[in-house]
Chains A and B, each alone.
Chain A
Amino acid sequence: MATRLQSASPPSLPRRIGAFFFRHPNWSLAALLLLPMLWLGVFYLGSLGALLTQSFFRLDGFTGRIVRQFGLETYQKQLFTPANMDIVLRTFLTASAVTIASALIAFPLAYYMARYASYRVRGLLYLLVLLPLWSSYIVRVYTWKIILAQEGVLTWFINGLGLSGVLRAVLDIPVIGGPSLSISLLGTFIVFVYIWLPYMILPINAALERVPKSVIEASGDLGAPPGYTFRRIILPLAWPGVVAGSIFTFSLTLGDYIIPGIIGNSSFFIGQAVFVQQGTAGNIPLAAAFTVIPVAIMAVYLLIARWQGAFDAL
């Protein structure tokens, strides 16, 4: 075979190029990586770097021009003000609450899928989780505007159940309450949980499916009651999945500016502050400095997540 190939006409150019790459794996690796790395490594990372750099410039208050001089003034004088820290704290706490609530709602579903559902049902459930995940974000937010509106579905149901007193009491709670659910932090919270829930279900389910059946059976055979097996065997093994899911719910809540703008009171989240600073206010250095906060929070979060073994669960 080989001799026949050689005795034929000399190898064509594409064949010679192919042979070269086959003999030089490092070159073929470089060739494969060239375009993607130009895009992601140079252009995208470069943009992120440029953004970070701009956070060290400052906006001249009189001329409205950006002073291209390195310094920490934007951080010191404009970012770390009580009002802004209030925004950061509100966003951080909401993101934490959303993450915990998502995990609590997601876990039973993921657990049922992994452990009890038959093969067919599991496929169906998987699809039912995927559909909302990939379907339109903006439409899914919009539908909650309809549901939570004063004259909307939820109010109708609550009144029908005779619980309007309870709703009013909840809405009277300071900070999370408001005139109606669609104009309250509680409403924002519900919508965040709804929108990011599938991101939590899938990693938990993946982690649970990897728990070997034999381990659970062994625990039972050795005399552990089901609750004990759940706490000591299943939960620790599913934990990396929970942490992996929390990366999404947490990060997505930190950076979102659409949801709190549509459903919620007028107090800002980090995303909205960034949006206003770079848009109407034209203060790019401050907007850039603001984005450093969620990125820094996520960097710490990812380190903790890796330590918890979340990356093996993705």
Chain B
Amino acid sequence: MRSNTVKDTTPRASIGLKLATLGALLFLHLPLLVVIMYAFTTDEASFSFPPPGLTTRWFVDVFNRPDFRSALGLSLAVAAVSTFIALILGTLLALAIYRSKFFGREAISLLVILPIALPGIVTGIALRSAISLTGINFSFWTIVIGHATFCIVTVYNNAVARLRRTNYSQIEASMDLGASTFQTFRYVILPNIATSLLAGGMLAFALSFDEVIVTTFTAGQQQTMPIWIYSQLFRTRDRPITNVAAVFVIAATFIPILLAYRFTNENRE
């Protein structure tokens, strides 16, 4: 239209495109608002809409439930330990992969993605049958093994992306100036990739906190938070409690994601 004016270079979106964008965003976000609203409903037996009344008493009730508290505790512990393992393994892999070209490099990057690329049920049942072959009881640690396996990829992806943007001459300079490999890692590489590890770790935490498919196979009798909610779905008596627990889980995953987002974007500019 006015192609000779300098400012008008960005094209404008059509109404249809804007509506489609808005529609997709609403589709993604309205459902979460619904579950938050239902945490306040006075309706105990059904999902009637609009809610007959609003109350906050379920928020108190949920914390008096020992099963809720133990599920929450277990999920936090599993997520913390799995994230720790994933941080170590993911960083090691990223350091190995990012600059070197060797035979099987592609295969290794495929192998890292495999636990989340394969249907969760395949990973779950494979780990379950392998663990039961070793005779280990299904416990906290078997859940951690499963979670760490698919959490490695988030740490690895973040670390590799950051390492590729890091100038290798810094590392060479450090070595030239007499720093040992470990000193170089501690004082040059680690500060460079720290926020990306933090971001990867946060995402790993959220991923682990939320996982349900692999967990159903690798857990024994204990219930993680998502498994507890899953089992609640078939217990209609506790609906208000389930709704409130759902809100807690939303909050527990949103916070690390928002933090992770901040950490990855800080260094981008």
Task: Give the interface of A toward B (CB within 8 A).
Answer: 1-2, 5, 14-15, 17-19, 21-22, 25-26, 28-29, 32-33, 35-37, 39-41, 43-48, 50-51, 54, 105-106, 108-109, 111-113, 115-116, 123, 125, 127-132, 134-140, 142-147, 149, 151-153, 155-156, 194, 197-198, 201, 247, 251-252, 254-258, 262, 270-271, 274-275, 278, 284, 287-288, 291, 294-295, 298, 302
CB-nearest residue of chain A to B132: A284
In whole angstroms, what is the CA distance A149 to B181 when docked?
A: 60
Given contact pairs A32-B92, A137-B226, A48 touches B122 in the complex (Cβ within 8 A)? yes
B221: chain A residues at CB < 8 Å are: none
A-B contact pairs, 21 of them (CB 8 A): A5-B178, A33-B93, A33-B96, A44-B126, A48-B126, A112-B20, A115-B11, A131-B257, A134-B253, A136-B209, A136-B253, A138-B226, A139-B246, A145-B47, A151-B47, A152-B49, A194-B27, A251-B118, A275-B216, A291-B122, A291-B126
A298, B89: Cβ atoms under 8 Å? no
* Listed residue (A15, A44, A115, A298) with the most chain B CB atoms within 10 angstroms of its CB: A44
- Residue of B whose beta carbon sits closest to that of A112: B21
Q: From B256, which residue of chain A is reached at the shortest CB distance?
A: A134
Q: Are B49 and A153 in contact (CB under 8 A)?
A: yes
Are A123 and B265 closer than 8 Å at their CB atoms? yes
- CA of A133 to CA of B183, assembled, Å: 38
In the complex, the answer to whether B206 meets A134 with C-beta atoms within 8 Å is: yes
Query: A residues within 8 A CB of B121?
Result: 255-257, 270-271, 274-275, 291, 294
A225 to chain B, nearest CB (A): 13
Contact B118 A197 (CB under 8 A): no
Q: Which residues of B contact A54 (CB under 8 A)?
A: 129
B117 — nearest CB in chain A belongs to which residue? Answer: A251
Q: Count A-B pairs with CB separation below 8 Å.
A: 258
Question: Which chain B residues lie closer than 8 Å to A43 at the CB level?
Answer: 130, 145
> B249 at the A/B interface (Cβ < 8 Å)?
yes
Chain A residues within an 8 Å CB radius of B193 = none
Which listed residue (A32, A41, A125, A254) contacts B96, Cβ 8 A?
A32
B14 to chain A, nearest CB (A): 9
Residues of B within 8 A of A302 (CB): 117
Q: Is the CB of A22 within 8 A of B181?
A: yes
Pick the contact of A1 from B18, B118, B177, B180 — CB < 8 Å?
Answer: B177
Q: Is the CB of B212 within 8 A of A109?
A: no
Which residues from B are CB-within-8-Å of A201?
A: 24
A208 to chain B: closest CB distance in Å? 13
Alpha-carbon gap, A293 to B38, bound state (A): 39
Query: In the docked arrangement, what's the CA distance between A239 and B138, Å?
Result: 44
8 closest Cβ pairs, A-B complex: A255-B119, A18-B181, A108-B20, A47-B130, A32-B96, A18-B180, A143-B35, A47-B126
Q: Which residues of A contact B64 (CB under 8 A)?
A: none
Q: Does B114 contact A (CB under 8 A)?
A: yes
Q: Are A14 and B182 in contact (CB under 8 A)?
A: yes
B175 touches A22 (CB 8 A): yes
Kindly list chain A residues whose C-beta atoms are within 8 Å of the C-beta of B128.
Answer: 278
Chain A residues near B163 (CB-CB < 8 A): none
With both chains docked as a complex, state the minimum distance between the C-beta of B146 and any C-beta of chain A, in angstroms: 10
B50 CB contacts on chain A under 8 angstroms: 156
Contact between B28 and A128 (Cβ–Cβ < 8 Å)? yes
Query: Shortest Cβ distance from A22 into chain B, in angstroms?
Result: 6
* Alpha-carbon distance between A226 and B112 when the two chains are bound, in angstroms: 41
Bound complex: CA of A127 vs CA of B259, how far in Å?
11
* Cβ-closest chain A residue relative to B50: A156
Chain A residues with CB under 8 A of B29: 128, 132
Among candidates A115, A131, A288, residue contacting B125 with C-beta atoms closer than 8 Å: A288
A36 touches which of B18, B92, B178, B180 (Cβ 8 Å): B92
Contacting pair A132 B32 (CB below 8 A)? yes
Among B6-33, those with CB < 8 Å from A are 10-13, 17-18, 20-21, 23-25, 27-29, 31-32
Q: Are A136 and B20 in touch, CB under 8 angstroms?
A: no
User: Is residue B95 contacting chain A, with contact meaning CB distance below 8 A?
Assistant: yes
How many whole Å from B6's CB to the nearest CB in chain A?
14
Apart from A134-B210, A155-B49, A258-B212, 20 more pairs, CB < 8 Å? A18-B181, A18-B182, A22-B175, A32-B92, A32-B96, A33-B96, A35-B92, A44-B127, A48-B126, A50-B130, A51-B130, A115-B11, A116-B13, A137-B226, A138-B210, A146-B243, A255-B119, A291-B125, A294-B122, A295-B118
Q: Which B residue's beta carbon lies closest to that of A111? A: B17
Q: Does B242 lie at the interface of the complex (its beta carbon under 8 Å from any beta carbon of A)? A: yes
Residue of B nearest to A250 (CB): B119
- Complex Cα distance, B212 from A302, in Å, reads 25
B46 interface residue (CB < 8 Å to A):
yes
Which of B122, B149, B182 makes the CB contact (< 8 A) with A51?
B122
Q: Which residue of A lies closest to B217 (CB)?
A: A278
The answer, among A51, A139, A149, A252, for a CB contact under 8 Å with B229, is A139
Which residues of B have CB within 8 Å of A127?
A: 258, 261
A21-B181, A136-B226, A136-B253 known; A254+B24 contact, CB < 8 A: no
Closest to A157 in B: B49
